[in-house]
Amino acid sequence: MENQEQKHVRRVRYKGTHPRSYKEKYKEHNPEKYADTIQKVISKGSTPAGMHISIMVNEILDVLKIQSGEKGLDATLGYGGHSTAMLKQLEGKGHLYSLDIDPIESVKTEKRLRDAGFGEDILTIKHINFANIDEVAREVGKFDFLMADLGVSSMQIDNPERGFSYKVEGPLDLRLNPHQGISAAGRLRNIEEDELVGMLIENADEPYANEIAAAVINTIKRGKRIDTTTELRDIIESALSFIPQKDRKEAVKKSCQRTFQALRIDVNSEYEVLYEFLEKLPEVMNPGGRIAILTFHSGEDRLVKKSFKSFKKQGIYSEISDDVIRPSAEECARNGRARSTKMRWAIKG
């Protein structure tokens, strides 16, 4: 019957206990309304659903030494935590440009920042890949300070619909911009075994690359598609069944993390993008410009270290960090996702 009243569907109650689906965590998705719940989740060392806790904010500010009136760039906007901290340092003068290619999260972040009082007079958000920083600099001029956080945001990891995590069922996607390029599922459908082995080793130092690649290719040859995160996880688990029972659970967990990382790096061309960004970096900075970069795995850190050392040797950077700076033990206890973070910094000559 057309005019029949629609039955009211009651929202699932938030129990505050595990397990809970991503969508059921409605309090965590509303930090303004449920501040007490958010603090409770954070105090337990977890990241609330739909949020991201920015890493090493104080250490970044110490390096960047932002002065009121300067012009800066946040190359990776994400949830906007680093941008917020830098904007506060500007004290309403100067300008911050922030970049992000994620069409889903960047819109939410822009709304949060505008609602927080950061208007277009002080903040400009551009939906552009940070490999194209030269285009931004040509348009707006060079920068006095710049930071880049190369990690995937918690909002992306935790949302099953984005396919970044092996822990929950979702489409095997892994693209930072799901509207461009080919998904991880599509990539696996057309990959050769030796190419997959190379990807797992180069992008993630996976010790069981041969076994995992063989299992993936055998699955595809049998006519089965690997379209979801849990389907890939199950294949990895099966490939490592030879590992003794007492060690298997931890080995599967780590291999899943590395395999998903390797695929994510591949489908987003992360190494190529980072290399291009690093090559262009000196030309977009003013003399004395300060740079801080956060990395989250050895491949990224090697590229940043090599680039900084090379430009220092050429006299383009006057100073670089002698070694990586890591988050404090206290921060790692508060935010487990900070543990793998490394920061390097450089100053333009």
Q: What is the CATH number of the domain that holds 204?
A: 1.10.150
Asked if the structure places residue 5 within a domain, the reply is no
pLDDT of 30: 53
Same domain, 278 and 256: no
If pLDDT is split at 50, 70 and 90, which confidence band does 117 have? very high
Residue 12 confidence (pLDDT) above 60: no
Residue 18 confidence (pLDDT) above 60: no
Comparing CA positions, the residue from 181, 186, 157, 162 lying closest to residue 257 is: 157
Asked if the structure places residue 168 within a domain, the reply is no
The arithmetic mean of pLDDT across residues 89-99, rounded, is 96
Partnered with residue 345 across adjacent β-strands are: 292
Same domain, 262 and 315: no
Comparing CA positions, the residue from 282, 271, 338, 273 lying closest to residue 310 is: 282
Comparing CA positions, the residue from 343, 347, 307 lying closest to residue 323 is: 343
- pTM reported for the whole predicted model: 0.81
Tokens standing for 287? Answer: 């003399």
pLDDT of 312: 97
Same domain, 205 and 77: no
Comparing CA positions, the residue from 222, 218, 310, 65 lying closest to residue 236 is: 218
Of the residues 233, 267, 301, which one is the last residue of a structural domain? 267
Same domain, 255 and 282: no
The arithmetic mean of pLDDT across residues 20-27, rounded, is 51
If pLDDT is split at 50, 70 and 90, which confidence band does 48 have? very low
Q: Please give the tally of structural domains in the chain.
A: 2
pLDDT of 157: 64
Comparing 39-53, 104-118, 142-156, the range with the smallest average pLDDT is 39-53
Percent of the chain exceeding pLDDT 70 equals: 83
Same domain, 72 and 135: yes
Positive or negative torsion for Cα 141, 315, 304, 341: negative
Q: What is the mean pLDDT of the chain?
A: 87
* Highest-confidence segment of 46-55, 157-166, 228-237: 228-237
Asked if the structure places residue 13 within a domain, the reply is no
pLDDT of 238: 97
Same domain, 213 and 135: no
The arithmetic mean of pLDDT across residues 102-126, rounded, is 91
The arithmetic mean of pLDDT across residues 47-52, rounded, is 50
pLDDT of 42: 44
How many other C-beta atoms are found inside a 10 Å radius of the C-beta of residue 134? Answer: 15
Of the residues 223, 251, 267, which one is the last residue of a structural domain? 267
d(CA 257, CA 224): 23
Same domain, 88 and 143: yes
pLDDT of 333: 86
Q: What is the CATH number of the domain that holds 119?
A: 3.40.50.150
The arithmetic mean of pLDDT across residues 104-110, rounded, is 85
The DSSP code sequence of 187-213 is HHHT--HHHHHHHHHHHH--TTHHHHH
If pLDDT is split at 50, 70 and 90, which confidence band does 227 have? very high
Same domain, 146 and 277: yes
If pLDDT is split at 50, 70 and 90, which confidence band does 31 have? low
Asked if the structure places residue 36 within a domain, the reply is no
Same domain, 64 and 148: yes
Comparing 106-110, 125-129, 143-147, 298-302, the range with the smallest average pLDDT is 106-110
Residue 1 confidence (pLDDT) above 50: no
Same domain, 244 and 185: yes
Asked if the structure places residue 25 within a domain, the reply is no
Q: Domain of 284?
A: 57-154+271-348
Same domain, 283 and 235: no
The arithmetic mean of pLDDT across residues 300-320, rounded, is 97
Asked if the structure places residue 142 within a domain, the reply is yes
pLDDT of 107: 87
Asked if the structure places residue 215 within a domain, the reply is yes
What are phi and psi for residue 331, nearest 5 degrees?
-65, -40
**Which ranges constitute the DSSP H helices of the chain?**
35-43, 57-64, 81-90, 105-115, 133-140, 154-158, 184-189, 193-204, 209-221, 229-239, 245-267, 270-280, 298-313, 329-334
If pLDDT is split at 50, 70 and 90, which confidence band does 102 have? confident
Same domain, 254 and 275: no
Of the residues 246, 267, 288, which one is the last residue of a structural domain? 267
3-state secondary structure at position 11: coil
Residue 26 confidence (pLDDT) above 50: no
Alpha carbon separation from 246 to 242, 243, 249, 256 (Å, rounded): 11, 8, 7, 17
Asked if the structure places residue 306 within a domain, the reply is yes
